[in-house]
Amino acid sequence: MTAPRRYWAGDGSAFTLRVLLDEVLRRDLPPHRLLAESGFNARDADNPFGRISRDALFRFAEGAATLTGDPAFHLDATAHAQLGAFGAADFVVTTAPTLGIGLSRVAAGYAVINSGLRIEPVVGTREARLRLSAIHEPFPHPVDVETLAIATASRSRSATHGKAGPVRVTRTGPDRGYRARFESLLACPVDYDADEDTIVFDRATWDTRPATTHPAFATLFALVAEPVVAALVPTPPLAASVACVIEERLADGGLNAAQVAAVLDVAPRTLHRRLASEGRRFGELVDAVRLRVAQRELARGRSVGEVAELVGFSEAAAFSRAYRRWTGHPPGAHRAGPPNAGD
């Protein structure tokens, strides 16, 4: 007996349907039945501001895979997508001051492309990774993860004239039968049955300045792309953006407001003033992010020393003192489980 098909909540940009439909047409296949069975018509793929059901999108991808007899159809579709196929996201990655800043900006506004997948940049001293997780479901859809990995790899290489891209991709699920093809398109290895879905870069690549960037692009982005993003995704408080940047750079140590302000393209004085208007202070945000990340990683079983380095402390003892100041308990208590009321 066939298991019932799972429903996938949320919506996404019509750009994604356009990319899949273009691959159907590239292979000289009739698209009309596929579109109709998925609840679409050809016009749905031509609206740059259109929103479409993720569930219907996955039905279309599955139908195309069945029609072609190619379970990796979605990989080829993404690999063949020309630069610009994903709209402002392509522009941001290829024109940012550094590749990492571009990818972080895309992560912050990824709901424009896909409201069902969360991207969390995590930046360490030796490598940086994009951690992927589902928003509505317990786990991400494989097509979401695999197409994002391919798009990220191709855009990274476009931005650096082929010189830089991911060094590794990890998947929580099993190999779906096309590992060699996936790795070939990524130009890096894939680890399956991993603890997390991630796209991993070495730190030098993350900090690479795109060959396609230009000072005028920052102004163009502010005038053209940012209003579109703001219209589709509610603007979070500045404190939320600051917290994201802090988490990305925790492992660097010595994090200060000027560094975060530079990433967010605001003056340090403006950053402090806007945080104050929201009732927040920079130092308090750093401590709050450190505590949140530390508790998350301790709960995952990491050692106190590993977590200390991850959140920017040069010594485990200094981290332990700070953790006790934040919580009243040593970090080992959280690693073993929440402390008892009588401890």
The position carrying tokens 């391919």 is: 150
The answer to whether residue 163 scores a pLDDT higher than 90 is no
CA count, 13 A, side-chain hemisphere, 113: 23
Q: Is 59 left (phi over 0), alpha (psi -120 to 50) or beta?
A: alpha
CATH assignment of the domain containing 281: 1.10.10.60
Q: Are residues 94 and 63 in the same domain?
A: no
Q: Are residues 160 and 196 in the same domain?
A: yes
Residue 257 contacts residue 271 (beta carbons within 8 Å): yes
Question: Residues 165, 15, 104, CA angle at the centre, nearest 5°?
Answer: 40
pTM of the shown model: 0.67
pLDDT in tens, 47-77: 877 888 899 999 999 999 999 999 999 999 9
Mean pLDDT of the chain: 84
What string of DSSP letters covers 231-244? Answer: HHSPPPPHHHHHHH
Q: Are residues 174 and 109 in the same domain?
A: yes
pLDDT of residue 262: 81
**Domain for residue 109, yes or no?**
yes
Residue 253 contacts residue 124 (beta carbons within 8 Å): no
CATH assignment of the domain containing 27: 1.10.260
How far is it, in rounded angstroms, from Cα 233 to Cα 231?
6
Q: Are residues 272 and 323 in the same domain?
A: yes
**Domain for residue 228, yes or no?**
no
**Domain for residue 278, yes or no?**
yes
Q: Are residues 112 and 170 in the same domain?
A: yes
pLDDT of residue 231: 55
**Domain for residue 31, yes or no?**
yes
Q: Are residues 189 and 264 in the same domain?
A: no
pLDDT in tens, 209-263: 887 665 555 555 556 555 655 555 455 567 877 887 888 778 776 678 888 888 7
CATH assignment of the domain containing 164: 3.30.980
Residue type, 155: R
Longest distance between any two alpha carbons in the chain, whole Å? 70
**Domain for residue 213, yes or no?**
no
**Domain for residue 224, yes or no?**
no
**Domain for residue 6, yes or no?**
no
Residue 204's closest CA among 256, 170, 169, 166? 166
**Domain for residue 217, yes or no?**
no
Instruction: Report, in this order, helix, strand and coil percent for the chain, each rounded to 5.
Output: 55, 10, 35
pLDDT of residue 342: 35
Q: Considering its fold, how many domains does the chain have in total?
A: 3
Residue 283: partners with Cβ closer than 8 Å, 6 or more residues away = none
Domain that holds residue 64: 11-80
Q: Are residues 94 and 192 in the same domain?
A: yes
Q: Could you give the dihedral angle defined by the CA atoms of residues 330, 336, 337 and 342, in that order, rounded to the nearest 10 degrees?
A: -60
